[in-house]
Amino acid sequence: MSEMARMKFYCDEDRCIECFACTVGCSEAHELPTGISRRKVITLNEGIEGLEYSLSIACMHCTDAPCEQVCPVDCFYIREDGIVLHDKEKCIGCGYCLYACPFGAPQFPRDGAFGIKGAMDKCTMCAGGPLETNSEHERELYGQNRIAEGKVPMCAAVCSTNALLVGDSQKVSEIYRQRVLSRGHKHNDSPVAWSSAYKS
């Protein structure tokens, strides 16, 4: 029996045009409150000719998720397909996950000290949460469950340049390899952030 595909995100920094469609699409699809942004577009080396590039960043659904390792109430769980989800009804708003995450993925609805931040929110790769799939309660707490419907996450669906890819890690790696070969110039050996999120 073959091993289940491990779902991963990849943002091709050579294709991202900083249009923010992924950020807006995610917020609208999941009806996120003001102040919560599951996906952010950042620009590195801004203004430095030849070195400037943009990336779409969210939860990377890490292999050894640091958020899961530090959570004192075990609200995180990793699905068989590698998607890292959390239980908002267990979360105590301590913020440990935010400090552990190298990508700044965990978001909190309120500012403040331990216990008053409210339940943490983060990218679910459009895979919902621990509640009944596509139930009203799941949608209210976690947003759309597009994975259960056989669709790609909203951010990837609206990316006009196909910079943001999501799917089986081996297939995503192969697409990246083909793109690098077709460009015919020196490039990073692996996608940006993969070495932090996905350990072999």
What are the structural domain ranges in the chain? Answer: 7-182
7-182 CATH pick, 2.70.98.40, 3.40.630.10, 3.30.70.20, 3.30.420.40: 3.30.70.20
Buried b (16+ CB within 10 A) or exposed e, 57-96: bbbbbbeebbbbebbeeebbeeeeebbbbbbbeebbbbbb
pTM of the model: 0.83
pLDDT of the residue at 41: 95
What does the pLDDT look like over 16-55, one tens digit per residue?
999 999 999 999 999 998 889 999 999 999 999 888 899 9
What are the angstrom distances between the C-alpha of 128 and each of 94, 123, 131, 148, 175?
22, 9, 8, 8, 27
